[in-house]
Amino acid sequence: MSTTSTPPEPPSKLDPRPILLAVSVATVGVLPAFLTGGLAVQIRGELGFGAGALGLAVAVFFVVSSLASALAGRLAERIGSHTAMRFSSMIGVLSLLSVATLAGSWWGIVACLVLGGIGNAIAQPSTNLMLAREVPGGRQGLAFGVKQAAIPVATLLAGLAVPVLAVTVGWRWAFAGAALLALLVSVLVPRGGDDGAAGKAKAARASDAPLAPLILLAVGIGLGSMAATPLGAFVVESAVSSGVEVGTAGLLLALGSGVGIVVRVVVGHLADSMKSGRLRLVAAMLLVGTAGFLMLASGAPGLLVVGVILAFGAGWGWPGLFNFAIVKSSPKAPAAATGITQTGASGGAALGPLLFGYTVEATSFGTAWLATAAVALLSAVTILAGRRLLLRDRDKPGG
């Protein structure tokens, strides 16, 4: 049952509908946070708060997601993936619409992001559960890679929203449009064929997840998320501080997001043919991403494009592969297992923007990106340690 030595299953015919639905729901889940980051220049200009306050606002979103993730995973196992996904999407509608119509201060933004964080906590394990149950085993690596493209899809939408909406009709219209998109997604989630009855039985077997290795791996992915999440929230402002025009900086964010989407899909496809080493590949990608963060730290406009490509592609292109490995380690309770690791992912995502923003205010963007590179390196080491513990747990008698 190891994530690193499970033989690949033969490819089966792939129905794209569950994957597209998972991407849509997961995108809606993270969109409130990354849309806030992508439109930070306009939002801060109107509401009047600093980079540190922006980091804190985005951090609140992920803190709420972290605190709710383990419970949300068990909830998804119990009520079924489809019901949980509809619930998550409707919460996303309320969060985005509230920002567009009600947020008149920093506190208003935070309140709306609290709501969005709850929706995101439910979105992640519920979509993982659907993919584990509805996608053939020989195609699940690809499915998880495509699903985890939801985060760069969200940052891509945020990047495009800068020149298309924020600098033309205003940032609130971007949130209103996103709320309409979330409503459409909630309607598209099937109402029949839910797996809630089976989920009740599976929830009782959540203890089958290897707890100690999952906790260490949660720390590892938490560090990786801490390094990666500031990309969506601060790349635009970092580029602007280096002399890049706001509209061009938004397109740079869109470029990095596009690269991240492609890498996640390609790596997921490769994972289906791997007999071992999935978590080792995650660690290797984080090492390459470290180089990208160092390029961003240079502040040189000539290195920004390469740095963004490496940081988004390698430093943030591994979550689908990671989640696929975790699902393979806990086939009886995939939502519960990924709920545990998602606690670390969301916790790291909360600390990342918060610490990054205050580091920028105290020092500079260059120093903040250097610290980010160090965290990415530590993440790689921790994930390798978690992998070793997972293998040891598997090899125990009766394991």
pTM: 0.76
How many C-beta atoms lie closer than 10 Å to residue 349's C-beta?
32
Higher pLDDT, 254 or 167: 254
Higher pLDDT, 207 or 21: 21
Residue 297 binned pLDDT confidence (cut-offs 50, 70, 90):
very high
Window from 52-61, 160-169, 260-269 with minimum mean pLDDT: 160-169
Tell me the one-letter amino acid at 225: S
Q: How confident is the model at residue 218, as a pLDDT?
A: 94
Q: How confident is the model at residue 139, as a pLDDT?
A: 81
Contact present, 127 and 82 (Cβ < 8 Å):
no
User: Average pLDDT of 91-98?
Assistant: 94
Tell me how far the alpha carbon of residue 360 is from its chain's centroid. Answer: 23
Closest by alpha carbon to 324, among 281, 378, 379?
A: 281
Rounded to whole angstroms, how far apart are CA atoms 354 and 339?
Answer: 23
In the chain, the domains with their CATH numbers are 16-395 (1.20.1250.20)
User: Alpha helices, DSSP H only, in 102-170?
Assistant: 106-134, 140-147, 150-161
